Each structure stands twice: as structure tokens, then as C-alpha cells.
Amino acid sequence: MKLKGRVAVVTGGGRDIGRAVCIKLAKEGAKVVVNYFDSEEHGAETVKQIEALGGQAIAVFADVTKLSDIDNLVEKTKDAFGSKVDILVNVAGGLFARKTLSEVDESFYNLIMDVNFKSVVFVTKAFAPLLGKGSSIVNFASQAGRDGGGPGAFLYASSKGAVSTFTRGLAKELGPLGIRVNALNPGMIATKFHDDFTKEQVRVNVANATALRREGMAEEVADLVAYLAGDESSFLTGNNIDINGGLAFS
């Protein structure tokens, strides 16, 4: 129970990696705010699983590309668990479609950048006044942000590259306040993301290209988030940490 008594907010906590992060933080004793967007049922299921473990959690709808929704997320957090947040995890994001440059229009550009980058900036800005010394922010970038992504994913990769740079810059700004900021660069993780957007043979090829010869699991990513959220990583900030089974090295 390394996070006992702490309050965590996780965007995109309704499924896949976000759900695994919520459950892991709760197992370590944190009270968890589960933000969801696409399905109230998904958010409720995450809370149900946490409560079954004896933990505390609430599910809050928010479109984290909209400032009014973000403000409501902050207020719901304060109503449930008070005005101090110890852990902020920005998981929410998406690819939506694979498009070449010739296929990209302004609306698709705005969608990708808003969901993957704008959300991280403005959720963090909104919760920053609730964070204090010893708090931890964990952002989700991507292996794509390092290597440019697969076919038709250059905008997604660019948005995740922006998250990586934002993480480094914010670590410098918030470090004097005792707030740490790190990011993860997941590689091929077995989630609905790849079920929807990655062909099976591509997944097999990527898995075989890793040193461990397999895809990662959401729970393995969640374990790393919990480490970055806790005191054991107290001298780590400004890092973009690869978790890809040895697909690529920093």
C-alpha cells in the first residue's frame, strides 16, 4: 500500500491501459478518479473492479479536449476527495484513423492534436493548483513519438512527440515546487488500440522484433506508472521512459 491515502486522477481510465493504471494505483492504496469519455459503462466497470478490491473510486465523464469538461472534472474530484491531488496520469488519447498527408484535412488534424496533446496541457494546467510537494504527473507519449509511427500515423506520432517535449519542459517548471513530471513511451501493448488499427501480421512482426519476442500487457505499463507515482522514484523527473520489450533502446 505504497500510495495509501493519496488521491489519483487518471484520464482515459475506462478501459485498456487506463483501467489497468486505475486498478494498480487503487491496489497500492490510492483513491482514484476514473475519467471516461466513450462509455459510462466502461467507467463504472473500472470503479466496480476497484471497489471489489476494497478501494475507493469515482467515475467522472469528461471530454478532456473541452475546458469546461476539465473544470467539471476538477470540481468532481474536489467534491469526492478534497482539494489535494497527489497523482495525475494523462492516459487519454487516440489514433482514430491512419491517413497519409494527402488525406489529412484540418478537422482531422485538430482531432488528433486536441485529443493527444491539448488534453494533456489543459488537464495538467487545471489540476496543477491542487498538486503539491511530492506530487507526480505521468504523461503518456508513445514509441511512435520517437520513430515517427507506422503507416498513416505521422500526426499521431507528432502529437505524442509534443507530449514528450512538454514533459521535459514542465519538469523544469514544476521541479522547484517539488512536483515531478515523467512520461512513458509504450511500444506494442496488447490493447483495443492495436485491435482496431494494427493488422495481425504487423503485430506478429513487431512482437518478434522485440528482444522479449512478445507484446506488452497493460498491467506491465500500470506497474511502471505506480513506480513513477510513488516515493521510490523521488529523484526521477523529466524522463521519457521506453516500455517496449526491447524493440528500441534510448
Residues with catalytic function: 156
- Upper half-sphere CA count for residue 176 (Cβ side, 13 Å): 3
Cα Rg of the chain (Å, integer):
17
Cβ proximity of 244 and 210 under 8 Å: yes
Contacts for 68 with CB less than 8 Å, ≥ 6 apart: none
| 36's grid cell | 471516461
| 216's grid cell | 506488452
d(CA 72, CA 67) in angstroms, rounded, equals 9
- Give all strands of the β-sheet with 87-90 in edge-to-edge order: 57-61, 31-36, 7-11, 87-90, 136-140, 180-186, 240-243
Burial class (CB in 10 A: 0-12, 13-18, 19+), 20: buried
